Structure 1
Amino acid sequence: MPHSIRETPRGLALNLILNLRGGLHSRPAARLAKAARRYSSDIRCITETGEADAKSMLDLLSLAPGANAQVLLLANGEDAREALLDLGAVLADMQE
């Protein structure tokens, strides 16, 4: 499924649905943070419970998004588009 990246005042944005039965628990949060750290762009993860640094597993866990939660990834930097495409693929691969 192609991801639709759009421009916002805060950078590039990608909306996703978190299709993880247990939500974003420690294993997927660690995997997402590890993937995000490969990029120099600032990457934020926003859910209805708040906003977190996508490069920090602990920050992601603090959001505690549940199954089927809507997630907005924001990236700002020279590799922002590449980062969002990769992170979207990482989250899609984690679907249970």
Structure 2
Amino acid sequence: MPERKVVVAASSGLHARPAKLFVQAAAKTGAPVRIRVGDGKPVPASSMLAVLSLGATHGTEVTLEADGPGAEEALESLAALLSKDLDAAEPAGA
């Protein structure tokens, strides 16, 4: 099963807006993606409550894992997303 380790770059971690953006992106991949912190139990990346329950703060290393068709692409796109500061300035009018 492919997996990627990535450090959460968002200044607020996977909470509020960054978690919402991540969960939405995970749901759009079409692949079953799970996320975990350390040796913890993996949770569905497309579940807002599950992702929030991880308590992943800025600088936390998380592991993404996926199965099936599109798994590698899903992991690459989600890892790239988590590597960005999703709390960065929003576009004007947002």
Once the 2 structures are TM-superposed, how far is the Cα of residue 93 of structure 1 from its aligned partner?
2.7
Query: Mind listing any 5+ residue stretches in structure 2 that lack a counterpart?
Result: 89-94
Letter of the 1:32 partner, please give it. F
Partner SS, residue 37 of structure 1: helix
Match of 1:29 among 19, 37, 42: 19
The TM-score with structure 2 as length reference comes to 0.81
Query: Mind listing any 5+ residue stretches in structure 1 that lack a counterpart?
Result: 1-10
**Pairwise CA RMSD of aligned residues?**
1.5
Letter of the 1:47 partner, please give it. V
Once the 2 structures are TM-superposed, how far is the Cα of residue 77 of structure 1 from its aligned partner?
1.1
Once the 2 structures are TM-superposed, how far is the Cα of residue 92 of structure 1 from its aligned partner?
2.1
Higher Cα Rg, which structure? 2
Instruction: Name 1:71's counterpart in structure 2.
Output: 62
The TM-score with structure 1 as length reference comes to 0.80
Which is richer in strand? 1
- Matched pairs, number: 86
Which gives a bigger RCO, structure 1 or 2 (Cα 8 Å, sep 6+)?
Answer: 2
